[in-house]
Amino acid sequence: MSWRDERIARRYARALYQALPPEARRPAVERLTDVVTWLRETPGALEWLRHPLVRSEDKMALLERALEGADERLVRFVRLLVEHGRAALLPAAADAFRAEVDRADGRLRVRVRSARPLPERVREQIEALFLAQGYRGVELEATVDRRLIGGFVLEADGRLYDASIARALEKLKDRLIADAGAREPGKIG
């Protein structure tokens, strides 16, 4: 997803946050999470939602069934996305909305990718680090990504901390290429 689409999704999420009273926000997060999880787990559903030849009315009919019984403001929010040709942004908007609600509640969602499963001790240290910074709750999502070779990549509060060996090797390669380009051709040393 492009940075432009991410910005648009955040704008929609902010509008939903402002449209809902505080007591309706957390239930809306849970409902949107359920819908997006269903879309991601149903083969072809996201592709169908993104397809430009699928009529908006058909997309909305599917989403209204998934949102049956939800707060009417949430249904209107999804309808607005669909009507403006932005149905494909629903997962990103849902994530951004969750981040808005979590931030307001003093909660932080932390995503960690590591080359090996994180030991429980490390998970507890990460949570303690953020709790010490004043967050009232930390939700840690850890996944294994063998491409990192070693180390980890941590995402929290819109920031990315890359302490992976793969990134260190990439930086080393870039420095070597830059150094080699700074030398005169044919000259060693």
| Per-residue confidence band for 57, with pLDDT thresholds at 50, 70 and 90 | very high
Q: SS3 for 54-100, per residue?
A: CCHHHHHHHHHHHCCCCCHHHHHHHHHHHHCCCHHHHHHHHHHHHHH
Cα 92-95-138 angle, rounded to 5 deg: 155
What predicted TM-score, i.e. pTM, was given to this entire model?
0.70
Q: b/e map of 46-77 (b: 16 or more CB within 10 Å)?
A: beebeeeeeeeeebbebbeebbeebbeebbeb
- On whether the CB atoms of residues 97 and 26 are closer than 8 A, the answer is no
Interval 15-43: pLDDT, tens: 999 999 999 999 999 999 999 999 899 99
pLDDT of 143 reads 95
Domain boundaries, the chain: 3-102, 106-182
Q: Which CATH class is domain 3-102?
A: mainly alpha
pLDDT of 179 reads 83
pLDDT of 188 reads 57
